[in-house]
Chain A
Amino acid sequence: MVNLDHLTFTYDGNREVLSDISFHLKAGETVGLIGANGAGKSTLLKILTGLLTDYKGQVKLDGMDVNKKNLAAVREKTGYVFQDSESQLFLSTVYEDVAFGPRNYGYSEEEVQKKVMSALQQVHIEELKDRPIYRMSGGQKKLAAIATILSMEPEVILFDEPSVGLDPKNRRNLINIINRIGGLKIIASHDLDMIFDTCDKTILIEKGKLIFYGETAKILTDQRLLEESGLELPLSMQIRDGNRKINT
């Protein structure tokens, strides 16, 4: 479904952000993308959506090259949930915002209505459909942002730090929703507990280089590898192992 072959990306032609990244992701998988701040996670997601196209190497989505020529087709297959929901939601009400994508793809208004209601049902916010976005809480905005992507029924959904700013209840709700959604999901996050609860496989990036790609349970229990990459064991692991400590 998603193939990366020797991907290298530099900003301004000299600052290398991603270096020789290769992996293959299958449809239906949920893959975590972890790494310290500035490791290149968001850049990688932007390349997969076609927001950044000046890369070296090969990026393929469903057999199709991700480049300027195929942008429309690539974007029809991918959905990107921004870290900052406020930037993602720009219309007056939830309904209008969720309908934005399907309307742009030329669906009739009856079909748009069906897609919007189905997306809102998947994230359990049907009752908020007429709510002005600026009067919603952070958790509700996050769910609405996910609904804007689900209404387009993408084959690949990319989440950028989805649990940031959510309280424990909303975070748990989000994890349940992510686990129910179909298709290939790639989740870039520092919330390793959430990665543990949602992802089958995990990719670890450090300073733009791929350090590990494999079973989530394997990487998230490898304290040494995580710490070398500027991360820590998930909190649930620390408690389970009885070695919870305060890092200074």
Chain B
Amino acid sequence: MSKLQQAIDNLHEADREAAKRSGKSRIHPVSRLCVCMAYIGIVVSFHKYDVTGLLGMSLFIIITGILEDLSFIRGFQRIKYILVFVVLLGAVNPFLDKGIVMQTGSIAVTGGMLSMITLLIKGILTVYCAYHMFMCTGIEQLCRALRCLKVPKGGVTVVLLIYRYIIVLLKEIQRMSLAYRLRAPGQKGIHIKAWGSFAGLLLLRSMERAQNVYDSMLLRGYDGEFRYEILGQEKTGKGLSIAYTAGWIGIFILLRCFPVVQMVGDMIISPGR
């Protein structure tokens, strides 16, 4: 199977898993979205040298992963390319901030090294959080949540169509590259001379197909609103959703304002003190 086909299958599989989970979930997508946004906001707000504080925030990712039966390894495989980008960004820090901030034995730890680690942790936690949120709500429910939060219809439709466009684009790339390979045997990749016309044609073809998808949505009553509800979510899940949101945001604030991880660590290392 080609890498492109694998990517398309992965996207479809993630979409299907998310739809299945969101169909069973009694927690309203607005709650999940609010918790996710609060989490990302709080993670980003940690000081650039506060590694232990950030480690405490991983609690949410671990608990959500276990409760929602989300595989961390599969998750890593799906988001690894974004994480590579985060690593590349963080790799510059040790060269920019060379001031020594602590000494562990004979090793001098510079501010750049610490900020690189915190940036990596922040990147991993926020990407995992967004991934978990997506896997528990799905794109449809996510858009529904955005509409509930009064995001304009146009904006929500753009989010929905960009997501659908990714799959359409990948499929078109696959078709066109297959057609190219079949007529260019022995050639590795697409020749640089063909890149311009390939990209242009790809854009036109994928836009035409995306237009068809949008037309299909319009013809089946789509107008930017998400009227449907998941059974049980509205009737019995309201209290649960409120508790979920309040509970997690409370825990995040606690972890942000108090050095909980450090306190727990101190208790373990020196319990009698």
Contact = CB atoms under 8 A, between A and B. Distances in A.
A binds B: yes
Interface of A: 49, 51, 72, 75-76, 78-80, 82, 84, 86-88, 90-93, 96, 99-101, 103-106, 109, 112, 132-134, 148-149, 152
A72 B213 CA distance: 18
B220 A100 contact: yes
Nearest to A105: B221
Contact of A134 (B9, B216, B221): B9
Nearest to B11: A134
Interface string B6-20: 001100110110110
Interface of B: 8-9, 12-13, 15-16, 18-19, 138, 140, 164, 171, 209, 212-213, 215-223, 225, 227-231
A104 B144 CA distance: 12
Given A51-B215, A101-B220, A92 B227 contact: no
Contacts of A152: 220-221
B12 A134 contact: yes
A80 B220 CA distance: 9
Given A104-B223, A134-B12, A152-B221, A90 B230 contact: no
Nearest to A78: B219
Nearest to B209: A87
A105 B229 CA distance: 12
A89 B215 CA distance: 11
Given A103-B228, A134-B8, A134-B9, A51 B219 contact: yes
Given A104-B222, A109-B229, A134-B8, A90 B217 contact: yes
B86 to A, nearest CB: 28
Which of B140, B164, B218, B222 has the most chain A CB atoms inside 10 A of its CB?
B218
Given A104-B223, A109-B230, A134-B12, A91 B216 contact: no
A86 to B, nearest CB: 8
Contact of B227 (A76, A87, A104, A134): A104
A87 B215 CA distance: 9
B31 to A, nearest CB: 19
29 contacts: A51-B219, A72-B221, A75-B219, A76-B221, A82-B212, A84-B212, A87-B212, A87-B215, A88-B212, A91-B140, A92-B12, A92-B16, A92-B18, A92-B138, A93-B16, A93-B19, A99-B228, A100-B217, A100-B220, A103-B227, A104-B220, A104-B225, A105-B227, A109-B228, A134-B9, A134-B12, A148-B220, A149-B220, A152-B220
